Amino acid sequence: MVLQRRTNYKVKGRKDKWIRCLSVSLSFRLLHTIYFHIIGVCKHFYATQS
């Protein structure tokens, strides 16, 4: 019974780490995409003004 609990904690810990890592990478990718969209819009406006 105790061994089963320890195993559950280990699996849960791994899932939490994996989910945290995935969410960080997704948020980084989202920020990266937004950043490049903003830069693209700025370049477009500067190109049309000059």
Q: Domain residues for 40? A: 1-50
pTM beyond 0.75: no
The whole-angstrom separation of Cα 24 and Cα 16 is 12
Angle at 20 between CA 15 and CA 25, to 5 degrees: 125
Full pLDDT tens readout for the chain, 50 residues: 445 565 565 666 677 787 887 888 888 999 999 999 999 998 888 888 76
Task: Tally the domains of the chain.
Answer: 1
pLDDT of residue 12: 66
